[in-house]
Structure 1
Amino acid sequence: MAKNNQTKANHNLLRISFLSSFIKSKWFPGLFQWPILIIFSFIVYELMAGPGTAHDNFGTAGTWVLWWPLIPLIFLVFGRFWCGVCPFATLNDLVQKYVGVNYQVPKFLKKYGIWLIDIFFILITWSDHVFGIVESPRGSGVLLLMIITGVIISGAFFERRTWCRYLCFLGGLSSNYARAGSFELKATPEKCAKCTTLSCYKGGEKAPGCPMFEVPRTMDSMSKCNFCGHCIKNCPNDSIQLSPRVPTRELWFIKNPKFEESFLAIVIMGIVFVQNITMLDIWQEMLNRLESFVGTDSYFVTFTITFVIAMALPVFALLLTSWAAKQGNKESAAGNFARFGYALIPLDLAAHMAHNLFHLLAEGKSVFYTLMGALGYSSHGASAALVSNGTIQLLQFGLIGLGVAGSIYTVYRIAKNHFKDPQLEWKTFLPFAILILILGAINIYLFMLPMAMRM
Structure 2
Amino acid sequence: MVPVAIPKDKLSKEKKQMEEKKPYNLLSIPVVKKFIQSKWYPGIFQWIVLAVFSVIVYELVAGTVDPTRNVGTSLTWVLWWPLIPIFFLVIGRFWCTICPFGKVSDIIRKTIGSNRPMPKFLRKYGLWMIDFFFIAITYSDHIWGIVESPRGSGYLLLLLVTMVVGTSIFYERRTFCKTLCFLGGLSGNYSRSGSLELRGTPDICKTCKTQSCFKGSEKAEGCPMFQFVRTMETAADCNLCGNCVKNCPNNSIRISPRVPTSELWGIKKPMLEHTFLAAVIMGIVFVQNITMVTIWQDILNAIGTVTGTDNYNVNFTVAFIIAMAIPVGLLYGTAKLATLTGGSVEKVKKNFVRFGYAIIPLDLAGHLAHNLFHIITEGKAIWYNSAVLFGMNVKRGDLAFAPASSVQLLQYIIIVIGMIGSIYTAYRIGNKGSFKALAPYYVLMVLLAVANIYLFSLPMMHRV
| TM-score scaled by length of structure 2 | 0.94
The CA distance in 2 between the partners of 1:135 and 1:322, in whole Å, is 39
1:220 partnered with 2:229: no
For 1:344, the equivalent position in structure 2 comes to: 359
Structure 1 residue aligned with 2:428, among 377, 395, 413?
Answer: 413
The CA distance in 1 between the partners of 2:137 and 2:19, in whole Å, is 45
Alpha-carbon distance, 1:387 to partner: 1.1
Alpha-carbon distance, 1:286 to partner: 2.8
For 2:37, the equivalent position in structure 1 comes to: 24
1:434 partnered with 2:447: no
1:444 partnered with 2:453: yes
Alignment of 1:3-402 (within 5 A): 6-7=19-20, 9=22, 11-328=24-341, 330=343, 332-379=347-394, 381-402=396-417
The CA distance in 2 between the partners of 1:23 and 1:278, in whole Å, is 44
Alpha-carbon distance, 1:287 to partner: 2.3
The CA distance in 2 between the partners of 1:329 and 1:269, in whole Å, is 30
Three-state SS of the structure 2 residue aligned to 1:386 is coil
Three-state SS of the structure 2 residue aligned to 1:337 is helix
RMSD: 1.7
Three-state SS of the structure 1 residue aligned to 2:438 is helix
Alpha-carbon distance, 1:391 to partner: 1.1
Three-state SS of the structure 1 residue aligned to 2:40 is coil
Three-state SS of the structure 2 residue aligned to 1:416 is coil
Three-state SS of the structure 1 residue aligned to 2:197 is strand
Three-state SS of the structure 1 residue aligned to 2:199 is strand
Three-state SS of the structure 1 residue aligned to 2:319 is helix
Question: Quick one: which amino acid aligns to residue 448 of structure 2?
Answer: L
The CA distance in 2 between the partners of 1:96 and 1:9, in whole Å, is 38
The CA distance in 2 between the partners of 1:295 and 1:414, in whole Å, is 45
Taking a change above 3 Å as real, the CA distance of residues 137 and 80 of structure 1, as seen in their structure-2 partners, is: same
Taking a change above 3 Å as real, the CA distance of residues 84 and 8 of structure 1, as seen in their structure-2 partners, is: farther
Question: Quick one: which amino acid aligns to residue 200 of structure 1?
Answer: C
| TM-score scaled by length of structure 1 | 0.96
Alpha-carbon distance, 1:427 to partner: 4.3
Three-state SS of the structure 2 residue aligned to 1:184 is strand
How many residues were matched structurally?
A: 449
Deviation track 1:112-146 (CA, whole Å, cap 9, x = no partner) reads 11111111111111100000000000000111011
Residues 9 and 241, structure 1, Cα contact 8 Å, conserved in 2: no
Deviation track 1:87-109 (CA, whole Å, cap 9, x = no partner) reads 00000000000010011111111
Alpha-carbon distance, 1:325 to partner: 1.5
Question: Quick one: which amino acid aligns to residue 417 of structure 2?
Answer: L
The CA distance in 1 between the partners of 2:185 and 2:78, in whole Å, is 21
The CA distance in 1 between the partners of 2:117 and 2:80, in whole Å, is 33
Alpha-carbon distance, 1:111 to partner: 1.1
Three-state SS of the structure 1 residue aligned to 2:39 is coil
Taking a change above 3 Å as real, the CA distance of residues 348 and 25 of structure 1, as seen in their structure-2 partners, is: same
The CA distance in 2 between the partners of 1:202 and 1:398, in whole Å, is 45
Point out where structure 2 has 5 or more consecutive residues left out of the alignment. Answer: 1-14
Residues 328 and 427, structure 1, Cα contact 8 Å, conserved in 2: no
The CA distance in 2 between the partners of 1:412 and 1:310, in whole Å, is 26
Deviation track 1:360-401 (CA, whole Å, cap 9, x = no partner) reads 100000011111223334435231001111111111000000
Taking a change above 3 Å as real, the CA distance of residues 426 and 290 of structure 1, as seen in their structure-2 partners, is: same
Instruction: Please identify, of 283-292 and 119-128, the stretch whose mean Cα deviation from structure 2 is larger.
Output: 283-292
Three-state SS of the structure 1 residue aligned to 2:256 is strand
Residues 303 and 318, structure 2, Cα contact 8 Å, conserved in 1: no
The CA distance in 1 between the partners of 2:300 and 2:342, in whole Å, is 42
The CA distance in 1 between the partners of 2:18 and 2:51, in whole Å, is 41
Residues 23 and 257, structure 2, Cα contact 8 Å, conserved in 1: no
Three-state SS of the structure 1 residue aligned to 2:198 is strand
Point out where structure 1 has 5 or more consecutive residues left out of the alignment. Answer: none
Question: Quick one: which amino acid aligns to residue 449 of structure 2?
Answer: G
Computing the radius of gyration from Cα coordinates, the structure with the larger value is 2
Three-state SS of the structure 2 residue aligned to 1:194 is coil
Alpha-carbon distance, 1:296 to partner: 1.5
Taking a change above 3 Å as real, the CA distance of residues 174 and 7 of structure 1, as seen in their structure-2 partners, is: farther
Question: Quick one: which amino acid aligns to residue 84 of structure 2?
Answer: I
Sequence identity (%): 54
The CA distance in 2 between the partners of 1:452 and 1:65, in whole Å, is 14
Three-state SS of the structure 2 residue aligned to 1:124 is helix
Taking a change above 3 Å as real, the CA distance of residues 4 and 449 of structure 1, as seen in their structure-2 partners, is: farther
Three-state SS of the structure 2 residue aligned to 1:327 is coil
